[in-house]
């Protein structure tokens, strides 16, 4: 059974993420140990809250290098919510530089009549990389659960794996590049579709792990 490390930096409900992964057949380990991150079969970087405290805590716990090593080593890596945003170069939410793993910035939604900020609740994904293994066995426009006021704006639009529409704004809801995948929504709160996404991630890990 694959061991998936869920990175602990006091920025998220780790246990609900672990529950979803375990339901999908994985063994999870919550840790802030660089050695355990290096030994894991796959890594999940969850996160809720603000950008600056998130990157500050990752740096204060010396977790940036292990995260970069995990991604560069080719093991499956999944970012969730703020765990997606910190991968970028910076955010309009704060002043701290991001991890810079993905070129681009985190932007704030534009105010316009009829939309709420934060964007909170269910929205339909437009799967722009429809053959991505993470999206296997999903309906054409699955529903996912969001809570955010900021969204990622990748420099390379080709890494967008899904988008959503909020008001007149079409924004990136997920990215995928080689072994790195990250989503703005919360799969652990996204009912059947969310559980399927986590199951797909676990299946990818199984393919990588020697029998």
* pLDDT tens per residue, range 96-114: 999 999 999 999 999 998 8
- Has 186 been annotated as catalytic? yes
Catalytic residue among 18, 77, 148, 188: 188
pLDDT at 1: 74
With CA atoms as reference, report the closest residue to 29 among 61, 38, 79. Answer: 38
Q: How much is the pLDDT for 12?
A: 80
Q: Torsion angle of alpha carbons 178, 179, 185, 186, nearest 10°?
A: 170
Is 29 exposed, middle or buried, given 0-12, 13-18 or 19+ CB atoms closer than 10 A?
A: middle
Catalytic position from the list 119, 148, 166, 186: 186
Q: Tell whether the model's pLDDT for residue 17 goes beyond 80.
A: yes
8 A C-beta contact, residue 201 and residue 158: no
Chain position carrying tokens 């059974």 = 1
Residues in contact with 113: Cβ distance below 8 Å, sequence separation at least 6, in sequence order: none
Q: Indicate the SS3 state at residue 126.
A: strand
**Entry pTM:** 0.96
The residue annotated as part of the active site, out of 18, 81, 119, 148, is 81
**Is 77 among the catalytic positions?**
no
Among 133, 178, 130, 177, CA closest to 152: 177
Dihedral sign, Cα of residue 12, residue 97, residue 86, residue 113: positive
* Cβ-Cβ contacts under 8 Å for 72 (sequence gap 6 or more): none
Q: What is the pLDDT of residue 40?
A: 93
Mean pLDDT of 13-30: 91
Q: Which of 9-13, 19-23, 79-83, 188-192 has the lowest mean pLDDT?
A: 9-13
Domain spans of the chain?
3-208
187, two tokens: 């799969």
Parallel, antiparallel or unpaired: strands 150-154 and 119-124: unpaired
State which CATH number among 3.40.718.10, 3.30.460.10, 3.40.50.880, 3.40.50.1820 fits the domain covering 3-208. 3.40.50.880
3-state secondary structure of 105: strand
| Confidence tier at 92 by pLDDT (50, 70, 90) | very high
């Amino acid at each position: 059974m694959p061991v998936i490390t869920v990175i602990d930096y006091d920025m998220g409900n780790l246990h609900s993420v672990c529950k979803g992964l375990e339901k999908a057949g994985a063994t999870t380990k919550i840790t802030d140990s660089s050695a355990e991150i290096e030994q894991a079969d796959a890594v999940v970087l969850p996160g809720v809250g603000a950008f600056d405290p998130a990157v500050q805590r990752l740096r204060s716990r010396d977790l940036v290098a292990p995260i970069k090593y995990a991604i560069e080593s080719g093991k499956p890596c999944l970012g969730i919510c703020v765990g997606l945003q910190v991968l970028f170069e910076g955010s309009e939410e704060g002043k701290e530089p991001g991890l810079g793993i993905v070129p681009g910035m985190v932007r704030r939604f534009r105010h316009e009549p009829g939309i709420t900020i934060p964007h909170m609740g269910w929205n339909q994904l437009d799967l722009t990389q429809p053959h991505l293994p993470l999206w296997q066995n999903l309906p054409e426009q699955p529903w996912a659960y969001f809570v955010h006021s900021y969204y990622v704006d990748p420099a390379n639009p080709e890494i967008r794996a899904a988008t959503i529409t909020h008001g007149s704004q079409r924004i990136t809801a997920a990215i995928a590049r080689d072994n790195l995948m990250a989503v703005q929504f919360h799969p652990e709160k996204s009912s059947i579709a969310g559980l399927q996404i986590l199951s797909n991630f676990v299946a990818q890990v199984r393919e990588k792990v020697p029998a």
